[in-house]
Structure 1
Amino acid sequence: MTRPLALLWDNFGPLHEDRARAVAAAFGRDRRVVGIELCSKSDVYGWRSFDDSGFERITLFPGQDLTTVSTPRLLARLIATAHSLGRGDYVLCHWNLPAIFLFAVSLRLGGSRVFTMGCSKFDDKPRRAWKEMLKATMFLPYQGAIGSGLRSTDYFRFLGVPAARVFGEYNTVSIARIRRLSGQPIAPGGTPYAERRFVSVARLVPKKNLAILLDAYRIYRNTTTAAPRSLVLCGSGPLEPTLKQQAERLGIAADVCFTGFVQTEEVVHHLADAVALLLPSIEEQFGNVVPEAQAMGLPVILSDNCGARDLLIRSAVNGFVVEPDNPEGLAFFMRLLAEDEALWRQFCEAATAVAPGGDVQELCRAVSALAGLPFDNGTTR
């Protein structure tokens, strides 16, 4: 029987589909590539189900989300699934879940190779030494890891994953899928410069720092020398009423569009019409929308806290990096891109040039290194 190569996530959204399909395309001739989905529903995102052709998917708890499944039930189902698949290479997300830790231990005892993947960084939040020591024990079963950017891979090494067995990049997208969904040329082609808007794609929760973004947009509107561009906020969350009230209070409500939660297809269309993506998060392990934006040739203005800036953003080259508590600085960078078409076009070309660093082929490269599988780089999928 072919030795399985399994990738595990709690719930498969479009980005996990990209990753599983790319790994299957790269290694499926030699290995049985399986995507293990814990639950068919997400307790955070409203993703629609998708076409999983191109890879084999096993869903442990159809019709449920993770909040409804106890640790013993989850662990039992995981062990039974691994028993049916056999000894192989398992790449697991969600190392922090007790069931995943115990599952990783059982895989190691059964002779499988076990790896983890994720995007956490040391600077995501205040850290305490005793908690980090306890956390490090959760990584003892893992023989390698796939991180997202320099700070993420460094954090895996800090937590005890063998340094030579930590690779990037985990947080990747299919550039080809994003461009196909848009149906438009990438920037600076497509929508005319004068008709483009600012776009934010984020859940409406405190860590996304959207109150500061609205302050920055007010400053931009009051100081721009050109016709102000509108702002589109794609996402839903508990702060929506508060943010709408803030927009009214600041006198910008007429030019701020709250779309609510939108599926990937609509996100891509908003990106295709954007002058720049804005992501000023206080806490952001990575920022999956950054490689999506770069797939469309967009400059990105983001906070230093976003992990995506490590490898994908070069300030004043293909975007800008700003402090999350600096609305004046954010507004200044917005004005630069909104008023100087030559500069914007230069940034678009630079964003397109770096976009392959966020493509799913980078994940395949990391899987190849961990599992010892040949990888010919393929083509952008």
Structure 2
Amino acid sequence: MLVPIALSLTGILEPSEAFSYFGDRWVVIFMGMFIISSAMFKTGFASQIGDMTVKVAGNSKFGLMILVMLVLGLMSALLSNTGATAVFVPVVVAVCLSSDRSPKTMLMPMAFASSLGGTLTVIGTPPNGIINSVLNESTKYSEFGFFEFGRVGIFLFIIGILYMVLIGYKLLPDGVPEGSHGFSNNHSSEQLRSDKMWVGLLIFLFVVISMATGIIDLQVAAMLGAMLTIVTGCLTIDEAFNSISWTTVFLFAGMLSMSQAIEDTGAALLIANMIANVSVSPLIVLAVLFVTTALLTNFMSNTATAAVFAPIGITIAESIHVSPYPFLMAIAIASSCCFITPIATPPNTIVLGPAGYSFKDYFKAGWPLQLITFIVSMIIIPIFFPFN
């Protein structure tokens, strides 16, 4: 809230504009999707998916890792990746403890898969919504489509799973953390509305299909789905209200005003010119934007980082007369693919306590994947989103 307040008091933005982003279409979309995601968890569908996943994997260590990463990543593309990770934690911890396997070897791969899965769709993670909102505000450019982020994300998702199975697991710590046993009973303790499971699932499928096909506008589809979960009894009004991550909503809306201010004051142009002047090619600019965004995101909110860099990406593209889409895609991907600290993304933070990880554990297992996502992005992004 201090961002729009400061921008209003200093006269950088008119108060009406500074606070207008709380009604931004992407704020509305994410509010709706938080509620729909909660219905998937409250009706027991998400928990059932988790149970089925570990049952199918059996006692195979690598089978469990691959299947959990695959299922959680796909769930994170369509649901809240924070909620999906939270649902899987007690299931996976319980399975690990019952088979004398350390949860430390499973929870970090889960968190990484959740972040990578968010890059598959426009609703998978807030930075994707930020990028589209900035594109929409510019009026010159069309937004990315529902699955367009997935053109790059699918490669990163598959390579991320392969990395953890072939190399990453060797870099994970071992040993059972204190307090892990407390998670074994949490999964079944919550009262679920199992009789509403199929109703919730049908609402969810209706919303996703509507968004993917464009039959209904994204914000209308999200809010219609949210209202249907209440009308049909999947959630109560209080549960729907509490399911919204208000931290994300306020951060999202507040930082969008900062994004506009960076553009209006010429700060974006100043930074863009600095980067453009020291770069000899669009590919170098792409690399600089990716690395800078990823480094900052590892130590601050990925939503805030995306909001700051999105207008800079557009301004750089216009100053060197190339398409802004590869730069914005790099910023979106770099904002989500951060693995070297526990505060980089919500999934990273969720598994910190249950697994008893240290900062060093994230860096040790995460830096190779951070490097891999950078290299793959530099190859894939210009192919699907050319500079000209």
Compute the TM-score of the two structures, normalised by the length of structure 2: 0.29
Compute the TM-score of the two structures, normalised by the length of structure 1: 0.29
Higher normalized contact order (CA 8 Å, seq sep 6+, divided by chain length): 2
Q: Please state which structure has a larger fraction of its residues in helix.
A: 2
